[in-house]
Structure 1
Amino acid sequence: MSASTSPTDAGRLEARYPVLAELSAPARARLLQSAHWMHVPAGAMLFDDRQACEGFPFVVEGSVRVSKCAPSGRELPLYRVGPGETCIISSSCLLGHEDYNARGVTESDTLLMLLPKAVFDDMMGERPFRDFVFHLFAERIADLMQLIEEVAFRKLDQRLAALLLGKGRVLHVTHQQLADELGSVREIVSRLLKSFAEQGLVKLAREQVEIIDPPGLRRMAAEGKGAA
């Protein structure tokens, strides 16, 4: 981890987050001087439930998966943070002076810049930065509301069918990975996939799902939508 920003790093950061170029010169200088750069390998835990929030992350490369974990070990994916995006949970923890209430894990090798809490507080006094944070905050809230609707009002088989669509004819994925995406358990997802295969919707192989009947999956995914 490095606490200094090179011209190259600054250029890459501003390419991902153009709002930084809109800051006043003193604010931009302080942000870059305070930046903590982190190269994080895939599968590393960036933060966890009940952990103090140390700063505001800017993702320059890679992605971070944010999820809610139950004591049983089950996990519900909430959203992903990619280059140019923000983490709503980090924002809310910093603004509300609260600890994290979810877990963040890198999905690939990730380069990010962590802005210390004190500097984040100062940047919120800059209108472009404040508007940027709250705009993406609103977008994330909309995504989370859609997730709540999916979990509360759609059956798991419908959600699984929707998850399989749009990823190509052959998916190289494990049943556990699909279960993680749905916030379910492997045994249930395996049972549903077997049922899909018996209906001729998919063909199963080791760590592979081949889509045989896309229209059939689309019909299943659409069943019950809007029923609530």
Structure 2
Amino acid sequence: MKRQPTTPTRGSFLASLPEAERSRLLASARVMDFNAGTHLIHPGSPFNQIVLLEFGMLAVSEVSEHGTGRITVLAGPEALVPVSLLTPVTAQAPCEAWALVDSRVLLLDARDVQQWVTEGGPFTVAVLNYLSQLNHRLATDLQITKDFNLVQRAAAALLEISERLPQGSTVERKPLPPNIVPVSHEVLARRLGTVREVATESLGQLREEDLIETLYRRVEIVDAEGLRRRAGGAGPPRPSPPTAGRGRPRPPAPPPR
């Protein structure tokens, strides 16, 4: 279905575009909702569309001659999927992608996106800025893989997913509490670049330290600060405190009467 230009989410790819570019993109997009676990891009499928997220999160994994592998990108509304935008449309998709949570996406014809990239205008600038940020994130992930053990990286991955997941979406049938991470042992293993058994051992260690509880295809964060300390330098940056007005800290709530 077509949609009219709307106010984009702060920090999203759409927000980085001028209104005219955003209107052109939205006029060309199909809007679809995907339930958690649903594949948008299958390994070996034709490369014919680019995905933007309005809301939610996608897990994106690399594809090689050995099959699918590590989840290299957790893509939110700031992302373009896949990032190999100039892959020939006749080729196979260079990645696998599925909805980690219920997500609303904008589907764009890959030929249109490739044409916009070659124009050298604001859309091209926005794409280059995103790719620069992504390359920095991938380099950081590579360094973390080198410098930290699996338990630390598992703690960091749980924090990363928890803090990046949107809350209270109209797409989510039952929005999850912020301390519930909708990730299975298998998905965590693919994010860490290991096998399920090793990821399970890492989760077991964190559970023994009273930092988490493991549920069916979910993890409950019991002690977020303790989990952050356990992750050490592998953890994501601490979220900024909420603000009100012109960037000032939100005032404390008045005491109850």
Q: Does 1:118 align with 2:111?
A: yes
Please tell me the residue identity of whatever aligns with 1:115. L
Give the secondary-structure state (helix, strand or coil) at the position aligned to 2:140. Answer: helix
Which residue number corresponds to residue 137 of structure 2? 143
Total equivalences in the alignment: 208
Q: Does 1:179 align with 2:173?
A: no
CA distance in 2, matches of 1:202, 1:213: 7
TM normalised by structure 2 equals: 0.63
Q: Which runs of 5+ in 1 are unaligned?
A: 224-228
State the 1:75 CA deviation: 4.2
Which residue number corresponds to residue 63 of structure 1? 57
CA distance in 2, matches of 1:209, 1:36: 35
**CA deviation profile, 1:194-217 (whole Å, cap 9, x unmatched):** 44555x464756555665695597
Which residue number corresponds to residue 226 of structure 1? none
Please tell me the residue identity of whatever aligns with 2:192. L
Q: Does 1:192 align with 2:186?
A: no
State the 1:91 CA deviation: 3.6
Please tell me the residue identity of whatever aligns with 2:77. P
CA distance in 2, matches of 1:203, 1:114: 36
Which residue number corresponds to residue 93 of structure 2? 100
Give the secondary-structure state (helix, strand or coil) at the position aligned to 1:15. Answer: coil
**CA deviation profile, 1:151-191 (whole Å, cap 9, x unmatched):** 23432123124345585996566544533432322322333
TM normalised by structure 1 equals: 0.70
CA distance in 1, matches of 2:192, 2:93: 22
Please tell me the residue identity of whatever aligns with 1:95. L
- The 1:190–1:40 alpha-carbon spacing in structure 2 relative to 1, beyond 3 Å, is closer
CA distance in 2, matches of 1:220, 1:84: 25
CA distance in 1, matches of 2:228, 2:29: 47
CA distance in 1, matches of 2:49, 2:76: 17
Q: What percentage of residue pairs aligned between the two structures are identical?
A: 21
Q: In proportion to residue count, which structure has more helix?
A: 1
Q: Which runs of 5+ in 2 are unaligned?
A: 164-177, 235-257
- The 1:203–1:127 alpha-carbon spacing in structure 2 relative to 1, beyond 3 Å, is closer
State the 1:149 CA deviation: 1.9
- The 1:123–1:191 alpha-carbon spacing in structure 2 relative to 1, beyond 3 Å, is closer
- The 1:48–1:21 alpha-carbon spacing in structure 2 relative to 1, beyond 3 Å, is same
CA distance in 1, matches of 2:200, 2:47: 37
- The 1:91–1:79 alpha-carbon spacing in structure 2 relative to 1, beyond 3 Å, is closer
Which residue number corresponds to residue 34 of structure 1? 28
State the 1:145 CA deviation: 1.3
CA distance in 2, matches of 1:213, 1:84: 25
- The 1:130–1:206 alpha-carbon spacing in structure 2 relative to 1, beyond 3 Å, is closer
State the 1:37 CA deviation: 2.8
CA distance in 2, matches of 1:117, 1:156: 37
- The 1:216–1:174 alpha-carbon spacing in structure 2 relative to 1, beyond 3 Å, is closer
Q: Does 1:221 align with 2:232?
A: yes
CA distance in 1, matches of 2:154, 2:233: 11
Give the secondary-structure state (helix, strand or coil) at the position aligned to 1:57. Answer: strand
Which residue number corresponds to residue 132 of structure 1? 126
State the 1:139 CA deviation: 0.8
- The 1:187–1:72 alpha-carbon spacing in structure 2 relative to 1, beyond 3 Å, is farther
Which residue number corresponds to residue 80 of structure 1? 74
**CA deviation profile, 1:2-30 (whole Å, cap 9, x unmatched):** 3xx2xxx2223x5241315143xxx955x
State the 1:58 CA deviation: 2.2
Which fold has the larger relative contact order, with Cα–Cα distance below 8 Å and residues 6 or more apart in sequence?
A: 1
State the 1:42 CA deviation: 2.4
- The 1:28–1:122 alpha-carbon spacing in structure 2 relative to 1, beyond 3 Å, is farther
- The 1:59–1:190 alpha-carbon spacing in structure 2 relative to 1, beyond 3 Å, is closer
